[in-house]
Each structure stands twice: as structure tokens, then as C-alpha cells.
Amino acid sequence: MSLATMDGAISEEQRSPSAQVSIRNVTKVFPGKKGFFNKLTGKASSNFTAIEEISMEIEPNTFVTIIGPSGCGKSTLLNMIAGLMPITGGDILLNGEPITGPGPDRGMVFQNYALMPWMTVAENIRFAVETVDPKISAKRRDRIIKEHIQLVGLTGAEKKHPHELSGGMRQRVGIARALAINPQILLMDEPFGALDALTRGFLQDEIERIWEQQRKTVIMITHSIEEALLLSDRIVMMTRGPAARVDEILEIPFPRPRNRETIEQYPAYSGLKAEMERHLFRETRAVEEARIGGKK
């Protein structure tokens, strides 16, 4: 990934020819609803620019996390990379080709699991595999399902339905399902956000282990500074919205495999952590000030 600056622009020479994902001056505007009036102001609801002119280049096999204040546009950006939401301005290229919709090259792990409630663990994974490859042989399909259930530590729970699983187990199914289609890129929207600290820690270690094995490109959203520092090669810090931008991209130099107990001992750790805390504090405070100011 090249450096992105406050204005979000990346010059031609900074663009990496080896980039797998190129995000170029991407803007997202949500249209105001025609005929809708704000009850307080009486004004017609206007367009809302969520993110503006965001650029970054992501090389293959890198683990990138996106961090920023709540509501700044992280999910919006990830959904556009997933092809689930149209882009208003700019381009997102995947291996040089513009993204026009979702595809089997990208696996998505949703924050709210998004499993089919009437399907078992194995059936949820099977559904994804067959959707991507309808002609797959039953033997190969079943091997992929078994391998991925094993990979996320759910062997024995194959026949359970989502309502019979804990939150952490559901999230594991989500991860297994996303990986089972063998995507080039794994997209994860706060995958551990709803979990208790212990389960979250286990799953972080699991993701670290899976990533060591498979070395996929990962783009993950998180609110946790420690999680970002443990897992990432690069951390993208977004500014507050509206018209959110990339403030800075941090390079995380710690060797792998990483370990939550030892990572804090690297001299650079506390400096990076403090920088992220300052960024999040500044941006969140500005959001709060705007909110309180807006109420007066």
C-alpha cells in the first residue's frame, strides 16, 4: 500500500503496480430522500457525503485493518469493496479490473453473522460453496466443508443450527463460510465486535493462525487498537465523517507469528498505540462536539 495523505490523493508514481486492490478517489454520497422533510427544520433532506476521495493501494497477502470513529464510513467502504454497494465517484480495482458487484474472489464476514437460520453449520458452508461452484462434485464439496469446519475448530457441531450455537461459534461459521469459497480477499466487518474478551482473544489467535497458513489478503474493520496492532501489516486510520478521509496509514513492523503476550515488548508498540489512541480520541471528540453543538 502506498502512503495516502490527508487529501487522500495518491500520485501516479506512488501507485503500486503490484496492488491487488486499488481504491482510487472513492466517494460515497447517499442521496437524500425526495419529498422527505426534516420535521425540525422543515427542509428537504439533502444528500449525505459519507466518504470523500479515499485512495489506497493494497498489495496481495497483506493484512489491513481500518479503524476510525463510529459512523465515519468504514462499513460503507468495505461494502463497496465487496461490491454490495454502488460507488458514487472514483474506482475500486481488483487486479486492475473495476469492481462491478460481488464475486467469489471476495469473501465477506459480517458483523451480525448473517447465517441462514434454517440451515445447519455444514449446510451454511455448503450453500456458499455450491453458489460459487454449482458443478462441484459432492466429494470435493464435502471435503471443503469438512476442512473448513476443522479449520475454525467446529468439528462436532456440523449438524447444529445457528440458534444452537454461541456468538463465538456463529462467528466461526461466518469465517469458515467466507474462507470455504477460497477467496483471494477476505473482508471482515468488526468480526469480533459482539464477543466477550476471552472469545475475542481466541478468535484473534485463530485468525492469526489461519492467516499464517493461507496468507490471504485481509481487510478488516475493528474498533480495537490492540486487535489491529496484533493482526495488521497496515492500519488505515479514517477521519470522522461526513466526507471522511484517510488520515494516516501506519506500517506495523512486528515479526510473525505474533503473540499477544510478547508483542507489547517491542519498542515501537507503545508509540504506535499512543498514536492510534490520540487519533481516535481526537476524531471521536470532534464528533461529540459537533453533535452537542448541533443540538444547541
The answer to whether 64 and 219 are in contact (CB under 8 A) is: yes
CB of 10 to ligand ATP, least distance (A): 22
Which is nearest to 67 in space by CA: 187, 234, 285?
234
**Sheet order of strands, 217-221 included:** 106-109, 185-189, 217-221, 63-67, 234-238, 246-251
Q: How many residues bind ligand ATP (CB under 6 A)?
A: 12
Q: Which 225-264 positions form the footprint of ligand ATP (CB under 6 A)?
A: 241
281 lies in the binding site for ligand ATP (CB under 6 A): no
**Binder to ligand ATP among 36, 37, 48, 118 (CB under 6 A)?**
48
Q: 70 or 155, CB closer to ligand ATP?
A: 70
Amino acid residing at 223 = H
74 lies in the binding site for ligand ATP (CB under 6 A): yes
CA distance 147 to 155: 9
Q: What separation in angstroms does the CA of 48 have from each of 29, 31, 52, 222? A: 5, 6, 11, 24
Q: Which residue has the cell 488505515?
A: 236
Out of Mg ion, ligand ATP, none, which partner does residue 191 contact, by CB within 5 to 8 A per kind?
none
Which is nearest to 225 in space by CA: 271, 287, 168, 285?
271
Q: Which 16-35 positions form the footprint of ligand ATP (CB under 6 A)?
A: 30
Q: 38 or 131, CB closer to ligand ATP?
A: 38
Record the cell numbers describing residue 64, joined without a space.
Answer: 489491513
Q: 90 or 151, CB closer to ligand ATP?
A: 90
What's the count of helices (H) and strands (E) in the chain, helices before strands? 7, 10
CA 58 to chain centre: 13
**Binder to ligand ATP among 8, 73, 83, 191 (CB under 6 A)?**
73
CB of 70 to Mg ion, least distance (A): 8
CA distance 232 to 250: 9
Q: 54 or 121, CB closer to Mg ion?
A: 54
Q: 149 or 283, CB closer to ligand ATP?
A: 283
Site string for Mg ion, 36-75 (x = CB under 5 A): ---------------------------------------x
- Phi, psi (5° rounding) for residue 288? -65, -45
Q: 185 or 238, CB closer to Mg ion?
A: 238
DSSP 3-state of 293: helix
284 lies in the binding site for ligand ATP (CB under 6 A): no
Which residues of the chain form contacts with Mg ion (CB under 5 A)? 75
Which residues of the chain form contacts with ligand ATP (CB under 6 A)? 30, 48, 50, 68, 70-76, 241
